Structures are given as structure tokens and as C-alpha cells.
Structure 1
């Protein structure tokens, strides 16, 4: 990465931590979530973790805002985990496969790394209801050559037709990427980060069952303080009752978060 790129990322990171995280309320959400999950930790320990979390979140924004320089420099990914072979077998056979990820590390990097391998995937994501952020994300997806399918956020319902297009894309035998750690008010209340029940969408499991697609938890993990990453593909979730399948996903991502809490975006109102 160039010196200019690093300088731009640092500027965006400063802006996020000093201004945006405070004014948007994201810092308060992080503190409330940490107090819930790490109630037994001292205030000092939680504040130290808060700084690391906001630092990683700031780097995420810096990387996305400078995607033109950031993404092409990533190259081909380092991929590990028991889900690697089943994923590439499905892709080579032209069969549908779902990579189920979360707000861990930098999930956008995963889409770029798939593009570097010559794999075009569909990505289902929610509009943030912010014209600037939404248009920026659309440009990033276009730069990568990936297929983006935008659905409405909260009261924004004008994109619901994209879900049908996304399902058709999957049914045609294409790989897709979904986020599984959103708060879904209409979802099932399942354990997340311990015994705390969180509304969880069952849609990924239902789509996997309907299309006979392997459901593979996949995470792009940040390595160190700089923009280095590796992709971990966990073992495919066995077909079964949708609640059990998504509970297994919650368990996988929870274990990963407890192993390195700063990897996850604690700005999500998960509970």
C-alpha cells in the first residue's frame, strides 16, 4: 500500500473516531454492547477494548472510502479452513453455494478476493438509508465486478424486488455472500455471544435448504494493525431445521468474536 493511501486511511480513521462515532451514537452502542457481554470485566478493560474496536471500525471506513487504491492491491487471498474444499467444489460444478459471513474484519475484502480468483458472486446487503454511503458502496461493488442486491433498511421498502433477483441468481448455480449477524426483528431469538438471545434471520438456512446449497460460514480476518487479511471458511453447516442451522452459525461467529473481540463491529444493535 502506498504512503498516500495510508495517509488517507489515517485521516478517515481520525474523522471516524473523533467526530462520526461520537455524533452518530456508534460509540455509545459499542459501550452498551460491551457492558452487556463483558459485565464481569473492569471499566478500564472495557475502555481498552472499545479503543481497539473503534480503531478497527475506523480502518474499515478508511479502506472503503479509498477503495480505488485499496482493493486492487490486495491480490489473491490466503484461504484456510474445512469449508474451502466444499466451496470450490460447488463453484467448479456450477452448483449454488452460500458463504455466510458477518461484520468481522472486512467482509468487502472477501468479495474482492473472490473477484481476484475469477469468481463472480452475488452479495445481498441492506441499504443504510444514507445516499452518500449507499452510492459509495454501489461504486465499490461495481469496481469489483460483483453482483450487488440491495434490500430495504427498516422503513425503506423500495428495494424488496432485489431479494427475488438474488434468489434467482443463486438458483442459477452462482455463489452468493450473505451477512448473518444482522438484527432481524422478524427472526428467531437465538443465542449469540453466550446465552443472550438475539433476533436472527432464518433466510440463509431456508435458501440453503431450498436450493441444496452448502451453507459455509466464512470470515475475512484482519491480521495486525495494517490492511492484511486472511479468509477462513469453517465447516459447512449440516442441513436440518433452520433454527438449528442458524444457531450453529451464531455459535461459530460467537467463538470467533470471543477469541478476538476487536474483529467484530460492536456498533450493531444486536439485542
Structure 2
């Protein structure tokens, strides 16, 4: 497990200064204006400098070679737009939480199971992805009086990570960093009957050889392994951004039936694919999900710690 850098470089410092400047411009506006403004800045400034379009195009070429140039350009714009909105929403803290709460966003066939399981004091494992705004899911659950933990990966840029971590902590607690100490805290939380959101949609060097969009996509097994180990339902959940660009529908899908971890996580991949195909610009295609040219080990994730 790679540790984030403790000391930043000059490039890190300059990048963080630029990010702070954009945030300051956006955050000075009222909520309804700052979210679309940050979306515009992401499209015009962040995406070109960070190489978003190149990565989006690479992923689409790998799994959706049937798309027209116009469709690809539209998805590139939507990915950057959604990224900018998500950043502005995260840094809006409790104002973002209140707006999600007011929209009564939670829906779906798994909602009753989620609530009933928590009412019994039993753990729930949520399978989440970099889709829509993943923090809208946490805000919506908190609005229902529920406590949801989540695992996050500290950013490589330590200057940016300092204020980013503070921002996501203000949306909901607890949060567990993806390191040894965080894993210990996560296991204790689950054992106590906690509900936790675990991401599964990024390339895993030691993940199981599963598929996503019909292509090999090494996938972590830990969400399914935790669910099986602690007799918890594994429930996919996704916050779908609505056409106004500000509100969400938080879809709580039906629990994935228990089985082999590989089968369970393939089901999670398949359900995410259905959501992404319906809203292509809301998934973060910038992540290199497939990496077909990268040799990898055939071993799967280690089992959850005791």
C-alpha cells in the first residue's frame, strides 16, 4: 500500500495555490452560482491542464469504440462539469448537506433493507463508485438520522490533502484513511454494527480478474469479503446528479446475494455499468480503470484483517 508523500514538492505547492485560487473565486458566490461556476472553471482550466480529455478518450476507445466524435466530446465536457460541481459541493460543507437533506433524495429497493438492518444494530456494507457526487450519498443518509463511515485515500499532494481531508470530514463522520491505522478503525466500526461505504471502481493491481464494460478490470474483493465475514448485506448505492445540476437522486440498489466474493463484486461491476451507461458523463472516466497494457499479478485481494 503506497503512502502519500509527507513532504510536498514545489510543483505540489504551486498546484495547491492554483486550486485554492479557483476555490476562492467560486466560494465567494452564492451556492446556486458557485456550483456551475466551478463546473465552468473545471472545463476550461482544470481539465485541459490535468489532461482529463486524454484519459476519458482512452477509456472510451477501449470499451465504447462505437461512439461518435460528437458523443465523445459531450462526455468529456460532462465529466469535467461533474468534477467541478463535486469539488464545489464538497467544499460547501454543511450547506451542501442541508440541500441534499431538503431534497429527500433517498430511494430504491435496498433502502428498506438498509434501514431495517441498521435498526437491528447490524452492519451494512455499501458499494460505492466515483459517480455523480459520492458524498451526496453520505449527506442523504445522515439526513435520515443514520451514521455512515467511509474509507478515503489521502491525496498525493500533501498541501491539497490537508484542506481536502478537512472538507470531507465536515460532511459526515467517521472517515477512515486507507492505511493500517484506518483499517483497524474500520474493522472496529463494522464490528460495532456500523454502516460503511467502500469504493470498488478503481484499478487494483492485486484485484480479482473481473470485467467492466466487457473488458478485464481488476477489482477489489474487500467489500464482498467484509459483507460475508460480518454477515452484512452488500448494497450498491449511487448519487445520480439531476438535470438541474444541483440536486440528486440517491439510488439504494437491492442487496447483492451472498456468494463467492468474485461473483458478488462482478455483480457490483455489472450494476455500476448499467448506471454509467445511462449517465455516461457522471462517472469519473479520468481514472485508468482498465490498463490493458500493464502486466499484473494474478493474486486477488488479501482477506479483511481479523
Instruction: Verify the 8 A CA contact 1:111 1:146 in the aligned structure 2.
Output: no
Match of 1:182 in 2: 202
What residue number does 1:170 align with? 190
Give the alignment of 1:101-180 within 5 angstroms.
101-151=128-178, 159-180=179-200
1:30 lines up with 2:56 in the alignment:
yes
* Cα deviation code 1:22-80 (max 9, x no counterpart): 22222211111122222012222211222122222221122223335322232253322
Answering whether residue 71 of structure 2 is matched by residue 45 of structure 1, we say yes
* Match status 1:18 vs 2:37: no
For 1:140-165, what per-residue CA distance to the aligned partner results, in whole angstroms no more than 9, with x for missing partners?
333234100011xxxxxxx3221121
The number of aligned residues is 262
CA distance in 2, matches of 1:70, 1:233: 20
Which residue in 1 is equivalent to 2:249? 230
Higher CA-based Rg = 2
The farther-off stretch of 161-170 and 6-15 is 6-15
Q: Distance in 1 between matches of 2:184 and 2:155?
A: 20
Residue among 208, 211, 214 paired with 1:191: 211
The counterpart of 2:236, out of the listed 206, 209, 217, is 217
Determine if contact 1:121/1:177 at 8 Å carries over to the other structure. Answer: yes
Q: Give the 3 Å change call, closer, same or farther, for CA 145–54 of structure 1 in structure 2.
A: closer
Secondary structure at 2:198's aligned position in 1? strand
* Equivalent residue for 2:84, pick from 53, 58, 62: 58
C-alpha spacing 1:83/1:252, structure 2 compared with 1 (3 Å): same
2:121 aligned with 1:94: yes
Residue 270 of structure 2 is aligned to residue 248 of structure 1: no
Query: Unmatched 5+ residue regions in structure 1?
Result: 152-158
Secondary structure of the corresponding residue to residue 271 of structure 2: helix
C-alpha deviation, 1:17, in angstroms: 1.7
8 Å contact kept, 2:123–2:191: yes
Could you say which residue in structure 2 is the equivalent of 1:263? 282
Partner of 2:302: none
Distance 2:168 2:76 in 1: 30
2: CA distance between counterparts of 1:145 and 1:251? Answer: 28
Q: What is the rounded CA distance, in whole Å, between the counterparts of 2:38 and 2:92 in structure 1?
A: 9
Unaligned 5+ runs, structure 2 = 1-27, 291-306
The equivalent position to 1:206 in structure 2, one of 197, 201, 225, is 225
Distance 1:20 1:136 in 2: 18
Q: Secondary structure at the match of 1:177?
A: strand
Q: TM-score normalised to the size of structure 2?
A: 0.81
The root-mean-square deviation of aligned C-alpha atoms, in Å, is 1.8
* Structure 1 position 3, deviation (Å): 6.5
